[in-house]
């Protein structure tokens, strides 16, 4: 007889336990649709209760991958830790913030090589682990401790300090190992002679 008053229990929103259930109004339905559009998914929908959206209970697991767009992020709220390494391009970086930052693909050194056998030394270098040895044929082997086979080598005769280097030029090539650049110095007539030089390697 009770079922005949006001329609069936299902039609009136009454559960099998006899408790009347509140159906969401149009506003709640609209909010749920908005959640779906923003990619928060079913887990966030289950956290909608009493007509209020529990924003404090939503974490990164509730957000679908690649669903957040630039317009959803407030300006100047992202910090360095929010970006993956090596994902920002040059135009996005403030050059003034790069003071003291060394380019990982550029190697450099200054070699002192006065006349005489096996006396070449590293005067200064832009990276750790650089060594130098002399080999037959007027070749100075500069070892960078890493593979340089796919790099570009640029060398010029130049004094380590304020002195003026004798006229001449320097020739470069891959050294006797994959970690080395061979440098041969010559005078202005092209005759081989020991000489100081600056070497730049770009990989």
CA angle, residues 163, 168, 169, in degrees to nearest 5 = 110
- Residue 123 predicted with pLDDT over 90: yes
b/e sequence 131-145, b meaning 16+ C-beta within 10 Å? ebebeeebbbbbbbe
- Residue 142 predicted with pLDDT over 60: yes
- Residue 50 predicted with pLDDT over 60: no
DSSP output for the chain? -GGGSSS-TTTTTB-TTSPBPPPP-HHHHHHHHHHHHTT-HHHHHTTEETTEE-GGG--GGGS-TT---GGGS-TT---GGGS-TT-S-GGGS-GGGGTTPPPTTEEEEEEE--SSSS--EEEEESSTT-EEEEETTTEEEEE-SS--TTSEEEEEE--SSSSPPPSEEEEEEE-SSTTEEEEEEEETTS-B----EEEEEE-
18 versus 135: the higher-pLDDT residue is 135
Rounded mean pLDDT, 60-70: 73
60 versus 115: the higher-pLDDT residue is 115
pLDDT value at residue 178: 98
- Residue 144 predicted with pLDDT over 70: yes
- Residue 30 predicted with pLDDT over 80: no
Among 19-28, 71-80, 118-127, top mean pLDDT goes to: 118-127
pLDDT value at residue 168: 97
Under 8 Å between Cβ of 115 and 187: no
- Residue 192 predicted with pLDDT over 60: yes
Mean confidence (pLDDT) of the chain: 79
**What is the token pair recorded at 80?**
């360095």
Rounded mean pLDDT, 92-112: 79
DSSP output for 22-61? PPP-HHHHHHHHHHHHTT-HHHHHTTEETTEE-GGG--GG
Q: Which of 186, 201, 184, 203 is nearest to 130 (CA)?
A: 201
Q: Where are the domains of the chain?
A: 2-91, 106-202
pLDDT value at residue 5: 47
CA-derived radius of gyration, the chain:
36
Question: With bands split at pLDDT 50, 70 and 90, how would you rate the model's confidence at 58?
Answer: low
pLDDT value at residue 87: 74
Under 8 Å between Cβ of 199 and 146: no
pLDDT value at residue 183: 98
């Amino acid at each position: 007889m009770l079922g005949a008053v006001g329609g069936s229990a299902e039609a009136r929103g009454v559960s099998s336990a006899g408790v009347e259930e509140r159906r969401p109004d149009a506003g709640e339905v609209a909010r749920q649709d908005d959640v779906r559009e923003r990619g928060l998914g079913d887990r966030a929908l289950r956290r909608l209760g009493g007509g209020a959206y529990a924003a404090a209970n939503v974490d990164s697991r509730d957000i679908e991958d690649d669903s957040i767009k630039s317009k959803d992020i407030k300006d100047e709220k992202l910090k360095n830790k929010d970006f993956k390494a090596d994902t920002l391009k040059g135009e996005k970086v403030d050059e003034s913030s790069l003071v003291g930052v060394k380019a990982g693909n550029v190697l450099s050194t200054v070699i002192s090589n006065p006349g005489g056998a096996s006396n070449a030394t590293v005067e200064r270098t832009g990276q750790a682990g650089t060594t130098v040895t002399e080999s037959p044929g007027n070749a100075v082997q500069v070892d960078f401790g890493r593979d340089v086979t796919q790099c570009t080598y640029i060398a010029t005769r130049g004094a380590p300090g304020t002195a003026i280097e004798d006229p001449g030029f320097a020739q470069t090539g891959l050294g006797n190992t994959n970690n080395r650049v061979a440098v041969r110095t010559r005078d202005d007539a092209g005759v081989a002679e020991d000489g100081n030089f600056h070497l730049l390697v770009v990989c």
